[in-house]
Amino acid sequence: MKVGRKIIGMAVVLIWIIFSIAYIANDVWTDFQKEKINAALQSGYQQGVADTVDQAMTQAENKECKAFSIYNKDKSVEVISTKCLQKAGEVAPAQK
């Protein structure tokens, strides 16, 4: 009977070690996946910001010197390049 208990005890410890390793591996893998997803989301956000700024700069450099609108939710603003204002002689004096 002592051999049977010893084998059962070793089997329980072995099973516990296997499940512990599997749990830790799963936890590490999950954290890795979350970091990878967060990095991809951050990269996508940064690229979106860069594309938006590039688009605004391109629109501001239009040859006709026309104002264009920038929208954010329920707000909007008309934007024009200061180079266009300088060409037209409409540069306002600096405010104090």
Look at residue 93 in the predicted model and tell me its pLDDT. 56
Can you give the pTM of this predicted structure?
Answer: 0.57
Q: What is the residue whose two structure tokens read 């410890």?
A: 13
59 within 8 A of 68, measured Cβ to Cβ: yes
Look at residue 62 in the predicted model and tell me its pLDDT. 81
58 within 8 A of 68, measured Cβ to Cβ: no
| Cβ neighbours for 79, distance < 8 A, ≥ 6 positions apart | 56, 59, 60, 67, 68, 69, 70
pLDDT over 60 (residue 36) = yes
Q: Give alpha helix (H) positions in 1-96.
A: 2-60, 82-88
Task: State how far the Cα of 67 lies from the Cα of 84, in Å rounded to an integer.
Answer: 10
pLDDT over 50 (residue 96) = no
Q: What's the pLDDT band for 1 if we cut at 50, 70, 90?
A: low
* Mean of all residue pLDDT scores within the chain: 88
